[in-house]
Amino acid sequence: MTESTPREKILWIVGTIVVAKQMGLHAPGGIRYRDATVMAAAAAIGFTVSLFFATAAFPPGRLLDETKMGALMSFLAAGVAIVLGRLVGPRSARNL
């Protein structure tokens, strides 16, 4: 299994935001793509660190593979968030 670079992770995160925007979701507080890119960079670093620690914590084998796959599958949370966002819809601060 090859690991993606931080640049690829940033592209995936920003790409998910673009898809969410195309689906009609809106960013809170006027967040722009520039802001989202900075947040994606921070998230990509954290994701890379979790994969690094998994590699350092477990010897090569099934357990390491399962741990890495679990970290990679966390990207499915983006899809779940988009679907939930569409189901719930936009709400004003008064409705919270």
20-35 confidence digits (pLDDT tens): 888 888 877 777 888 8
CA distance 63 to 66: 5
32-90 confidence digits (pLDDT tens): 888 888 888 777 766 667 777 888 888 999 988 888 887 777 767 667 766 777 777 66
Per-domain boundaries in the chain: 6-88
Burial of 44 (0-12, 13-18, 19+ CB in 10 A): buried
- CA distance from start to end of the chain: 43
